[in-house]
Copies of this chain bind each other. A is one copy, B any other.
């Protein structure tokens, strides 16, 4: 699935390889996406696909281990559109806690989440706090070195800049051409076509699921995903990997 090479994925390692890896690094990259509507033409897996491919790219660039993708995140506000799936925040919080406790027991101490979905941000940050406290009670060695970092690939300044150049204010904030472009780059065979109303709602804050669908009837938020191309996707992917790889290195280097 990685277009560019052979990153070190946890799923493709043996436990002996992980044991060896831990001698040189206690860091791991954790991709997290979502399973939710992305407008008439966007893939339901957009956020997971983007997070996963970029995480693999960053893993390759930094020789870091990449954990399994969290495919379903916090997307309750999208659940009036069929195919959307969501964990409750209270559940996602426990999932993150369990993931990190498992890895912390083995010696991992730096957790770098590459995130593809704005709806995950709050719960992830809450989960980090909950997890620090949980890990502190387990009396693991150097528990106070446990650090989590959240990196939203689409918020990265290099990516943000490129999206702005390519799409201006037609980028919008959900089902954006930039995220759709990345999925087109990864799955060119799954480029979808559907009529897109040129009038697209925007600016309404996000509340509950019924309210969301009332205000965003086709699921897009101010975006024009018809602008996306696989080539844009490659550029955005490369920009994301380049700048997030630096972020990861910096994250490891600090305490």
Give the nearest-CB partner of A43 in chain B: B12
* Interface status of A14 (Cβ within 8 A of chain B): yes
Taking CB atoms, residues of chain B closer than 8 Å to A227 are none
A86 near B98: Cβ-Cβ < 8 Å: yes
A69 to B168, CA, bound (A): 35
Residues B89 and A129 in contact, CB atoms below 8 Å apart: yes
- Verify A102–B85 contact, CB threshold 8 A: yes
Q: Residues of B contacting A129 with CB < 8 Å?
A: 74, 76-77, 88-89, 119, 122-123
Using Cβ atoms and an 8 Å threshold, which residues of chain B touch A155?
Answer: none
Is A148 an interface residue, CB under 8 A from the partner? yes
Complex Cα–Cα for A107 and B97 (A): 27
Give the contact stretch, choosing among A54-62, A157-165, A205-213, A233-241. A205-213
Q: A145-B211, A187-B12 are in contact. Are A91 and B95 (CB under 8 A)?
A: yes
What is the bound-complex CA distance between A205 and B136, given in angstroms?
18
Q: Is A170 an interface residue (CB 8 A)?
A: no
Q: For residue A70, which residues in chain B have a CB less than 8 angstroms away from its CB?
A: 71
0/1 interface trace, chain A 196-234, chain B, CB 8 Å (1 if under): 000000001101111100110001000000000000000
Q: Is B144 a contact partner of A214 (Cβ separation < 8 A)?
A: yes
The complex places the Cα of A189 from the Cα of B105 at a distance, in Å, of 29
A contacts, CB < 8 Å to B: 1, 6, 9-19, 22, 35, 37-45, 48-49, 67-72, 74, 76-77, 79, 81-91, 93-95, 97-99, 102-103, 105-107, 119, 121-130, 132-133, 135-138, 143-149, 187, 189-190, 192, 194, 204-205, 207-211, 214-215, 219, 254-255
Can you list 21 A-B pairs, Cβ within 8 angstroms, ordered by A? A10-B44, A11-B44, A12-B187, A16-B40, A17-B192, A19-B83, A22-B82, A35-B67, A48-B68, A76-B130, A79-B105, A81-B106, A86-B98, A88-B98, A89-B93, A90-B94, A91-B91, A93-B126, A137-B138, A148-B207, A215-B255
